Chains A and B, each alone.
Chain A
């Protein structure tokens, strides 16, 4: 129950599943009682003595075995770099700069390949559909396969693959270099004030890749209370499935109002802004949890700052491209294909004069408008519960309906579709970014929270708390903007 599943010893959780095979032969109770009697007979605090004897022994042995020659310069370098990287003044700004550079490279580099992939896929879709028609296939078969399933796949791959193929190697380089523990060091004082564990910064960083991985990474936190805080708030860093949404919105809404030279920088700044906001919400909710359902103080801990190591290029590429990129992409593909099918069906099955997609979007519209979004966006979020990656593709497919979609040759056409035809405003974009940042984690993450806590209640809280926060925050921004604009 504990070590294997990594489950937390929580009140109300059955911990005696394995307790069926109680030992026979001697009574454990009497053994424990005897141990207590014997303990009283022992002089001094033998635990402290045992621990300090191990320490003394280790020191003695290492003195005998280790020779330290003249101090060398590399050691100096490590310390010099750390003095800057973890400095109280420069540490945080430097972190933001690194984050911004990573996002800028991702956004600037992913633009062109994304468009090329999309064009290629949609060219293929049109040809394949035409081939089906000329072969006399029924319209629903052509539509279901090519405009449904295939289009879902095409969107996911072209939207996700290029940013991931850039972001993951960069992230892995930082990880292998040894930068993550420095981040934890820099943020420690904030987490401490929020009543959370300093290592939560590490699990938060893992969340950038995948929130489910971030939740599993919380095992490095000893205190069950602080571990739960870290689990419940991991969702507030946008994972790779959500970055494409943020990047797209930043590109077509924020960057569009800047001259082309500055566009990708502005977009990167906007994404960094969202991430910083995510860190803020992580801290704020940790603080709230530490003062309500998970009362307690932050515990002390030690964190090693490992030496900087030159990352191995081959291993970085393997880890980031094969293990991470393809792994995440494959998961997205597995959910995108059925989602594409569902959207096509919703868009092409009619009840009365309107399609099911329009019906459900209309039903969700009042709620959507109240939080500055619309019914289609909310519908996309409902369909995308299995995996956040497919929110944008779903949305676009519902907008364009069952009909043919014009090739998205550039982001400006996308902007035309959203602003021109569907009445998006800056408020829609901002609130969608906020919603994407805050809303409930994907199904995989929720299941992982359940597995790690073995508690339906915590899993439910992990899903509903972010969702409620997302509605609250977007409702507030929408209301405030409408009051003043």
Chain B
């Protein structure tokens, strides 16, 4: 946490690691991203916890939670398993997807690998379809530099419509700027305009018709738009979840504090 080159953040900006103290918090921030992009390293850097971070995709299989304080505001940080897309079926990726969709975090940090940005942007775009309350952390900037890769973060921000911040999670570089952006997105100081692919007119009309129906059928379910897209796609799992009421249960479960949460989960990403 020593050297950060942050010229925009106010001088009183202050990060305090809170470890496992997550019983009282003001905001919830989720860490999403492809496998092995350094989510857990960022999680450790922010919370001061020592969750193990192996260099292989699939290291984190459950969500881990930790706390930190920034500018006097208490945050709960949720480290999610790595996922390539939000359509996948494996258990660990489902944990990530369900939390992003139904856990309604105040902001989602999508951690990306600067050395493989194209592949990482697939997930970013899918997350942006769900929520505009997002900040893209372009991690592994040091590795990218060594490989002769230069990322124009400003142009990326402009194109995506949400802040993109270069960070080096391993050394803590850029974390202040990242958190300042997160704060700005949550308070509305930074207006995001997430990039979303335009569907065809008939597709948009179909969505417009389905969304209110879903909201009536499953009151209080966030992201009815995403559910509508899945239903149009004929996703039998989503159909089943809607039919049995599992969807509502899923939502309430995501929004409850994780009752199985323990130090072990935080440290090992396992129960």
Q: Give A contacts to B, CB under 8 Å.
A: 1-4, 6, 8, 15-16, 18-32, 34-36, 38-39, 41-43, 46-47, 50, 53-55, 57-59, 61-72, 74-75, 172, 175-178, 180-181, 199, 202, 213, 216-217, 219-222, 227, 303-304, 306-309, 311-312, 315, 318-319, 322-323, 451
- On chain B, the number of residues with a Cβ less than 8 Å from chain A's Cβ atoms is 84
Contact A22 B151 (CB under 8 A): no
Contact B50 A319 (CB under 8 A): yes
| A220–B61 alpha-carbon span in the complex (Å) | 7
Contact A178 B55 (CB under 8 A): yes
Residue of A nearest to B98 (CB): A3
Contact B233 A47 (CB under 8 A): yes
Prevailing SS type, chain B contact patch: helix
Interface-side segment among B2-10, B18-26, B66-74, B203-211: B203-211
Contact B268 A213 (CB under 8 A): yes
Q: List 25 A-B contacts (CB under 8 A).
A: A6-B91, A8-B91, A15-B246, A19-B245, A34-B209, A39-B206, A39-B233, A54-B125, A57-B125, A58-B125, A61-B156, A61-B160, A64-B156, A66-B149, A70-B148, A175-B55, A181-B56, A202-B56, A202-B58, A216-B271, A217-B61, A219-B81, A219-B90, A222-B93, A309-B55
In this complex, the member of A2, A66, A199, A306 whose beta carbon has the largest number of chain B beta carbons within 10 angstroms is A66
Provide the residues of chain A in CB contact with B98, threshold 8 Å: 3
In this complex, the member of A32, A36, A63 whose beta carbon has the largest number of chain B beta carbons within 10 angstroms is A32
Contact B246 A28 (CB under 8 A): no
Provide the residues of chain B in CB contact with A70, threshold 8 Å: 148
Contact B146 A180 (CB under 8 A): no
Residue in A2, A38, A69, A319 whose CB lies within 8 Å of B150: A69
| A50–B271 alpha-carbon span in the complex (Å) | 36
CB of B48, distance to nearest CB on chain A (Å):
12
| A376–B41 alpha-carbon span in the complex (Å) | 48
Interface-side segment among B177-185, B186-194, B247-255: B247-255
Number of A-B contacts (CB under 8 A): 240
Contact B271 A451 (CB under 8 A): yes
Residue in A6, A303, A309 whose CB lies within 8 Å of B61: A6
Contact B117 A26 (CB under 8 A): no
Residue of A nearest to B61 (CB): A219
| A178–B57 alpha-carbon span in the complex (Å) | 9
Provide the residues of chain B in CB contact with A31, threshold 8 Å: 210, 213-214, 217, 231, 242
| A221–B57 alpha-carbon span in the complex (Å) | 12
Q: Known contacts A28-B217, A64-B159; is A54 also within 8 Å of B146 by CB?
A: no
Contact B125 A67 (CB under 8 A): no
Residue of A nearest to B247 (CB): A23
Provide the residues of chain A in CB contact with B61, threshold 8 Å: 6, 216-217, 219-220
Provide the residues of chain A in CB contact with B200, threshold 8 Å: 42-43, 46
CB of B86, distance to nearest CB on chain A (Å):
10
Residue of A nearest to B150 (CB): A67
Provide the residues of chain B in CB contact with A222, threshold 8 Å: 88-91, 93
